[in-house]
Amino acid sequence: MKRFISILCLIAIVIGSLSLVGCKDNSAEKNSISVAIMAPDVASSEGTAENNRWTKYIAEQTGLDITWVAIPQNEMKTKLNTLLAAGEAPDMFVEYSNAYFQGLVFDGMLMELDDLIEKHSTEYKKYIEENSDLKTWTMLDGKTYAFTNRRPADKILSFGMWIRQDWLDKLGLKAPTTIDEFVEVAKAFKTLGDDIVPLAYPYQFINTIYNAHAQWYEKDDGSGLEYGVVTKRYADSIAMHKKMYEEGIVDKEYFVDKGGSKQYELWNSGKAGIMFSNWDSSVNQTLLKNDPNANPVQLEAFSTKYGTNGMFVEAPPQLYVMMNKDCKNPEAGMKLVDWLIGGGYKNLMFGEEGVHYKMDGEIPVTICDRDTFTREVEYAKRYAVLGSFVLDPEWIPKMANQDELSQKLAAEKVDAMNTINKHHYRRDVPYNPPESRVSSIVSDFSSSINAITVKYITGGNQYDENWCETELRREWELAGGKEAEELATKWYKDNIDMIKAFQAENK
């Protein structure tokens, strides 16, 4: 009998031990998650994209076992599509494109997040309620399929116009306030040298001035939507572009300048007087190193017959942070999201407090040199896929390195932000109509746009002023443009309350 009881006790102990082991393994598994991010540029001294001081820091702070999957930004969509098709995609992944996000929803690749947020979130639930306008961008058919946060003030700006104030001063000119004045200023800049190209990177520049982007706009009479490239505004913008090309205001070879490397070279070498580019003052860094006496300033948007249009700005969401429908541990993903939005992002943006930055009131002030920050901190921002940082533009000089060049660039950045924000950028709908047929038609048509516009701009007098508009409209209709307009307008009318609320919030 004693032997039997001993055996029972032994069995109980073994079973109990196995149960404990099972619980431990299960707990560890529930804390595991894989996350795809846009590949950071990690110095060899820091480790790798998958294992460095910041991946270790995140693991220590969250208690999560995170497998980081680094994918080059320009390959993200293609790589994710391949992994999703093979059933091998990470649990969470990020993208900038709302259209891509919508496509994944339609394809059934994403987890619906409302219950997860309601039951397991504290920080993100609070954040998205306080920033309820962002919900529009993360929902389809009334359901949430992505996490996001608001872009900081300096990141929502996309393009700007830089002009050489020292050139204006040399010629006794004022900054242009109309398109006609702009042409005259650009022609005057040509007199400063045979190798001068007044305007670098002109293509998007002219479409921005005329507010004629490849996006959907509300018709003037409110009856529906029209595609920007087949509007009269676009035709007029390309006609002006042709005039500037023929006047020698732009680089004749920019059509084949892939990536714009020659355009930046013209600006950096002091051979261009106006640059349409990334708005950020960092675009002037090389120019100012080459010529410390150069004085690039932000050129305020000027008017055309269509009024004064703001510079293109990004949509409010910074990133779409999505969860794979097959994610086994969504609570772990929610824990990471809550940690980031609740303040975990801070050191990923600014570094280690006391080493890389210090707080001056609310302002995180950089205290290390530029090289150290670049090497040890800059790459960490890729892991901060969410955050709640709100930037006051006046903080920028304090946040920058204190050397003379950094401070000059910071001051330019503040001035540029203030100048760009003087004029509202028109966005009539929050995102393109989420209809796959509309997207397909637009994609088919897009391949024709550049060929037609380049042919018209460079074709001299063999094409009359209506040729480009007529050809674009013909190609649009061949691609199914009429059907796209009908579907887009139906979506517009079906969602008119949401669209009008969006317009009211974004005046």
Q: In 3-state terms, what secondary structure has residue 316?
A: coil
DSSP category for residue 280: S
- Would you state the torsion angle of the CA atoms of residues 96, 100, 104, 110, taken in this order, to the nearest 10 degrees? 10
Measured CA distances, 410 to 235, 285, 291, 357, 393 (Å)? 38, 11, 17, 17, 10
- The rounded distance, in Å, linking the Cα atoms of 373 and 349 is 10
User: pLDDT tens for residues 222-264?
Assistant: 999 999 999 999 999 999 999 999 999 999 888 888 778 899 9
CATH topology of domain 158-312+423-505: D-Maltodextrin-Binding Protein; domain 2 (3.40.190)
DSSP category for residue 259: G
What does each of the 507 residues of the chain score in pLDDT, given as a tens digit?
444 444 444 434 333 443 433 333 455 577 999 999 999 999 999 999 999 999 999 999 999 999 999 999 999 999 999 999 999 999 999 999 998 999 999 899 999 999 999 999 999 999 999 999 899 899 988 899 999 999 988 889 989 999 999 999 999 999 999 999 999 999 999 999 999 999 998 877 888 999 999 999 999 999 999 999 999 999 999 999 999 999 999 998 888 887 788 999 999 999 999 999 988 888 999 999 999 999 999 999 999 999 999 999 989 999 999 999 999 999 999 999 999 999 999 999 999 999 999 999 989 999 998 899 999 999 999 999 999 999 888 899 988 888 888 899 999 999 999 999 999 999 999 988 988 899 999 999 998 999 999 999 999 999 998 999 999 999 999 999 999 999 999 999 999 998 998 898 877
- Helices 436-458 and 98-106, interaxial angle, to 10°? 150
Answer whether 420's CB lies under 8 Å from 281's CB: no
Strands (E), 117-229: 139-140, 143-144, 159-164, 197-200, 216-218, 225-227
| Domain spans in the chain, listed from the N-terminal domain onward | 32-150+318-389, 158-312+423-505
Specify the amino acid at residue 107: D
Strands (E), 368-413: none
Specify the amino acid at residue 219: K
Count of other CB atoms within 10 angstroms of residue 432? 19
User: pLDDT tens for residues 269-300?
Assistant: 999 999 999 888 889 999 999 999 999 999 99
Measured CA distances, 174 to 46, 188, 273, 303 (Å)? 49, 12, 13, 15
* Domain 32-150+318-389 in this protein, CATH class: alpha beta
121 phi/psi in degrees, rounded to 5 = -110, 145
Same fold, 32-150+318-389 and 158-312+423-505: yes
Given the DSSP bridges, would you call strands 197-200 and 272-278 parallel, antiparallel or unpaired? parallel
Residue 93 β-bridge partners: 36, 322
